[in-house]
């Protein structure tokens, strides 16, 4: 069965961020992820993970000024110095918390712009080398333009081709089923084709981005498909609960407390 990681940025928001680690563990999660940990000191994050025996599935490198509209710096040539500073910060947190995987956001840029494409390649290469020296994976996530208009990385096939051409062993695809369905559909066929390069999976219902228990996608079928395809990584729950988080965890009950990854033969 898949091993789910509670996304503490979107889930359990009834509680202060620092308390969500405790609440997620009490709900049966054995792993967590979050967008940004930077409001807490690295040691404070590490202590909350440790006391709750939680694994850290993923977090994002600094995106720039989120409140001002920044959604990453990797494809922005004029923000190279900030990107370097953010990389150093992310590494500090990763080392303190034992992170094995970081997500690099591309930023708001035109994918057809040669300067943005060059900068993105240089940024990904730089981050991958710095993370790889510490045994950490770098994941890249295509994001749909309805949620994030103007985002540079907005196509799964382009992302897969980019990763393949880059040829760096620790650069992987972050496959968010919510974004895939909105951008392209054909979710399971894409999972089959892209599985060798997938480093992280995320889920949310489509179109509402709520609990993965209904709407457009057949969630039991998709969770079984991840098993059949041999996916053994984390499945991040990057959804917005319809109400109180604990009240919407009926879908999660069969998986609570699982620490083993999925494994199986590809169909």
Tens digit of each residue's pLDDT (9 = 90 or more) over 89-119: 999 999 999 999 999 999 999 999 999 999 9
175 forms bridges with which residues in the sheet?
A: 201
233 contacts 203 by C-beta, under 8 angstroms:
no
Tens digit of each residue's pLDDT (9 = 90 or more) over 191-234: 999 999 999 999 999 999 999 999 999 999 999 999 999 999 99
Does a cis peptide bond (omega within 30 degrees of 0) precede residue 167?
no
Q: Where are the alpha helices (DSSP H) in the chain?
A: 17-26, 42-51, 80-97, 114-132, 156-166, 177-183, 187-194, 219-228
Q: How far is CA 41 from CA 18, 47, 243, in A?
A: 11, 10, 29
pLDDT at 257: 76
Tens digit of each residue's pLDDT (9 = 90 or more) over 180-190: 999 999 999 99
Q: Which domains does the chain have, with CATH numbers?
A: 3-213+232-243 (3.20.20.150)
Of 258 and 49, the structure prediction assigns the larger pLDDT to 49
Phi first, then psi, for residue 186 (nearest 5°) are 55, 50
DSSP one-letter string for 146-212: TTSTTBS---HHHHHHHHHHH--TTEEEEEEHHHHHHHT--HHHHHHHHGGGEEEEEE--TTT---S
Cα 67 to Cα 89: distance, rounded to the nearest angstrom: 19
Phi first, then psi, for residue 176 (nearest 5°) are -90, 115
Active-site residues, by number, are: 141, 238
Tokens encoding 34? 């979050």
5 forms bridges with which residues in the sheet?
A: 236
> Which of these, 215, 123, 106, 200, lies nearest to 168 by C-alpha position?
123
């Amino acid at each position: 069965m898949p091993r789910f990681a509670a996304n503490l940025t979107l889930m359990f928001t009834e509680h202060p961020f620092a308390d969500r680690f405790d609440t997620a563990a009490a709900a049966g999660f054995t792993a967590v992820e979050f967008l940004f940990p930077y409001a807490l000191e690295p040691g404070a994050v590490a202590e909350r993970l440790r006391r709750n025996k939680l694994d850290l599935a993923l977090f994002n490198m600094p995106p720039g000024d989120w409140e001002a509209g920044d959604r990453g710096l990797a494809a922005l040539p004029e923000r190279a110095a900030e990107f370097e500073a953010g990389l150093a910060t992310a590494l500090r947190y990763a080392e303190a918390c034992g992170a094995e995987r970081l997500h690099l956001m591309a930023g708001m840029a035109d994918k057809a712009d040669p300067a943005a494409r060059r900068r993105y390649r240089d940024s990904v290469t730089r981050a991958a080398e710095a993370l790889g020296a510490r045994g950490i994976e770098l994941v890249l996530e295509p994001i749909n333009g309805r949620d994030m208009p103007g985002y540079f990385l907005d196509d799964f096939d382009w992302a897969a081709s980019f990763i393949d051409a880059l040829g760096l062993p620790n650069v992987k695809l972050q496959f968010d089923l919510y974004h895939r369905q909105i951008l392209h559909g054909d979710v399971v066929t894409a999972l089959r084709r892209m599985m060798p390069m997938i480093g992280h999976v995320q889920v949310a219902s489509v179109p509402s981005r709520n609990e993965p228990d209904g709407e457009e996608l057949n969630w039991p079928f998709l969770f079984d498909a991840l098993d059949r395809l041999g996916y053994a990584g984390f499945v991040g729950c990057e959804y917005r609960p319809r109400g109180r988080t604990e009240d919407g965890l009926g879908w999660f009950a069969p998986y609570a407390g699982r620490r083993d990854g999925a494994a199986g033969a590809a169909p």
